[in-house]
Amino acid sequence: VQFLKEGFLQILGLDTTEWPIIVPSPCPQQGAGDDCALFVCKYMECLANKNVISLPFSQADMDLMRGKLASAIIQEVNGEKENRSIGEAVVEIIVSLSDKA
């Protein structure tokens, strides 16, 4: 925590000396395995939603979390592909118009 407080001061110029340290109880803990990244994502989601007092998840939620994360990634990739396809079509139209001029 001290490292983070010093980092906020050095990088962002924020004086965090008066910020309270709140440890949620109970604090979700990952079980044995490789769910660390999922727990970090879930903690960040709670922070983004300003829900740091009650962290409503546990190790039992990680399979669902994995599915939601995979779905979000797939939707983002598909959206980028769609935008790229539209952009490529527009470029082709502009090129064909300029060839006719």
Question: Which pLDDT tens digit goes with each residue over 67-99?
Answer: 988 998 888 888 877 777 777 777 777 777 777
Does residue 53 contact residue 22 with C-beta atoms inside 8 Å?
yes
How far apart are alpha carbons 31 and 72 in whole angstroms? 24
Locate 70 and state its tokens.
């995979």
- Give per-residue pLDDT as tens, 57-74: 888 888 898 898 899 888
Query: Poorest-confidence range of 15-24, 36-45, 92-101?
Result: 92-101
Does residue 62 contact residue 92 with C-beta atoms inside 8 Å?
no
**Hey, is 28 helix, strand or coil?**
coil
User: pTM for the whole thing?
Assistant: 0.52
Res 12: pLDDT: 82
Token look-up 């979390």 returns 65
More confident residue, 15 or 87: 15
45 pLDDT more than 80: yes
